[in-house]
Structure formats: C-alpha cells, structure tokens
Amino acid sequence: MPDIALQASALAPLTTLSDDEILFRDNVRQFADDKIRPHVKEMDEKGVFEKDIIHEFFRLGLMGIEIPEQFGGSGAKFFEAILAVEELSRVDASAGVIVDVQNTLVNNALLRWGNPEQKKRYLPKMANDTCGAYALSEAGSGSDAFALQTKAELRGGNYVLNGRKLWITNSKEAGVFVLFATLDPGAGYKGITAFIIEKNFPGFSVGKKEDKLGIRASSTCELILEDCRVPRENVLGEPGKGYKIAIETLNEGRIGIGAQMIGIARGAWEFASKYAQERKQFGKPIADFQGIQFQIAQMATEIEAARLMVYNAARMKDADVNFVKEAAMTKLFASQVAERVTSLAIEIYGGYGFTKDYPVEKYWRDAKIGKIYEGTSNMQLATIAKLLLGAR
C-alpha cells in the first residue's frame, strides 16, 4: 500500500519546477510531515499553535523567504513562498496561513513600501524572530474595506490612533503589525494610511481571540487602539496612500490563499485515496468500485487545475507581469476546489469521515475560510468581471 508521501507525488508535477524549487518543496514537505503532523490534532483541539514550530519556521528561513540576505532573509522568490504555503497547508492549514501572512502580506508590504530606515529596522526582525500581522478589517468594513473607522490624528511627532480591528490573523503571535487607519473618515479611501505598529506601543492591545470553525490553531483576534501613540516615522508609504498599499498587497496575498487551498485539497485527497484502497465492502476495496474511482479522479483533476492557476499567477508576479485578474481567479477557483474535494473526502470515508477520529473533517473545516478572507468569492467575481468587461 503506498504511503502518504508517495500519494503526494501523484499530485505534484515535477516539470513545472526547477531542481532548486523541487529540493525546497521536498524539504518543506518533509518538515511538515515530521515536525507538524504529530501536533495537528492537539493544536486544532486547543486552538493554540505550538511556539516551537514557529521557532522552526524562522530557523528554516520560512518567515523571510523574499527578504534579501543582507537583512537576514532567504533572498528567494515569491514562488518559493507559495510552494511553502502549499506544502505546510497539506499537513495543517493553520501552519500555512502563519507563513502566508508573514510573507505575502507583511513582509511584502515592508519590502515594497518601506523606506530604507524602516527596512533596516524591521526586516531583520521579520526574518529572524518576529511574527507579523496585517490589520485592515473592522466590524463595519469587510468587503467594503475602505469604510474603516479607526482614526489617526497627528499630534506633534506622533500619530494617535483610536479604534478597533477585527479578524486579525497571527495577532496573538505577532510583534509587528501593518495597520490601516484613516486621517479623515469623510475623505473615503483618500484618507487611508498604513502604519507600522509594534506590539509594545502605548495604547495598543490584543483583545478577544475568536473561537473558529477551522484553522483553529491560527490566532484570529481583535486589536484595540486607545490613544495608541505611533511615531511619525512609522507611516508606511505616504499619508493618505494606504489604500494603494492595501489593494496591491492583497492582490499578492490572494495567490497565497490559493496555495493554502490547494494544500488543503491535496491533504484531503491523499487521505481519501489511501483509505479507499484500504476500506473493504462487498469483499473488495472500495477503490475497485467505479463510482469511487471517478470521484478520486475528479478530485485529482480539479486539484491539478487549481495548482496550475496558482503557479501561473505566482510566476507572473515574479516576472513583474500584471496578475490582478489571475490572482482573483486563482483564489476563487482554488477555494471552490478545496471545499468540493474536502467534502468528497468525507463522503469516501463515510460515517468515519464525520468523526474527529479521522483527519478529513478538519480539512473540510479548514477549507471554508478560503471563500471568505482576503476577499470573498463574490468580490473576486466582481474583480474578474470588471477586468474582463471594463468598469460599469
């Protein structure tokens, strides 16, 4: 009977990757199987991610993949970050999203819009020992992201921020936050400004941790700003230009979510395929029945299609080609595939799949968030339609 590692190779075409990328991918896969898989069930039940694993992320260079070597990072490409997110999510989506947010959102924003002093101060931390979080959402601003009400007021050499953020990933572990506030709520998107906030800034605190359906080991909390004092030099980019940072960063982040979703789908497919060859009914493995064979084949086909979309969008980003439409399509389709594949995996397991004693129900729970965060499926459809048809 083939083991999980061999099953994985059936859904990992080597022809799309260079030798170095294959080696990197395989190393991350081995690490995920050896070091993360034994803790997945306990982390999910407790809703807490093991700190030792996060330390390993830093030791392996997974938290600063695109950060230049001069700042202590790996100096690699965006594509490697996508490979890492996929392989980690195949074992645990919470692990995947921690690395995803760090690389595709926080580090990305600092690399693109940080000034030399900000890069010198923060990039070594992000590469070596500090988790990051990206704080945009609020109670009244989800899909309508620029309806945010967190207010920033310049007082002397500091900005003073007041408001609350919701649904902030990595917030329990993070030491640095890229946070968005408005200088003038009446100015709409033109008032939005991005700030680099450190966890120990006066007036800043992390609030309630959400009790979630899936990716439970990944912390999702509210952030509370009560006269939070932020040095003027911690504005990221320019005052009033935060909307550009938010939009362009999220475009890249959506490719990361696509990678997370194909990792989730792959993990569920591997278990379902293996189980189908072990489970016997009517005197033979259920994998001998054509109905099961067709389901496994359909799942594999959709995973492969989603992977090619994710890889293509990531390659476009690295090639500095406009990828906005492709990123939206990638997130939309990969999240659909993850939901379908994980649901079918439960059905292949039958009644066992509906219990927490077997792994596939967790993959299904983890998959659901893909259609929601970093832009809902409806928002992706709106973006795709606008780019195909023009503004209406």
User: Which of 86, 252, 270, 374 is the catalytic position?
Assistant: 374
The per-residue b/e assignment along 306-340, b for 16 or more CB within 10 angstroms, e otherwise, is: bbebbbbbbbbbeeeeebbbbbbbbbbbbbbbbbb
DSSP 8-state assignment for residue 141: B
Residue 15: CB atoms within 10 A of its CB come to 4
DSSP string, 94-130: HHHHHHHIIIIIIIHHHHHH--HHHHHHHHHHHHHT-
2, pLDDT greater than 50? no
Pairing of strands 192-198, 158-169: unpaired
**84 versus 145: which is more confidently predicted?**
84
DSSP string, 143-177: SSGGG---EEEEETTEEEEEEEEEEEETTTTEEEE
Provide CB contacts within 8 A for 301, sequence distance 6+.
none
- Amino acid found at 24: F
Nearest to 343 by CA among 363, 357, 328: 363
Tell me the pTM: 0.94
DSSP 8-state assignment for residue 317: H
214, pLDDT greater than 60? yes
- Told to judge if 374 belongs to the known catalytic residues of this protein, a careful annotator would answer yes
Summary mean pLDDT of the chain: 95
Domains and CATH numbers, the chain: 4-131 (1.10.540.10), 133-241 (2.40.110.10), 244-389 (1.20.140.10)
pLDDT category at 6 given cuts 50, 70, 90 is very low
- pLDDT single digits (tens) 245-286: 999 999 999 999 999 999 999 999 999 999 999 999 999 999
Rounded CA separation 99/259 (Å): 11
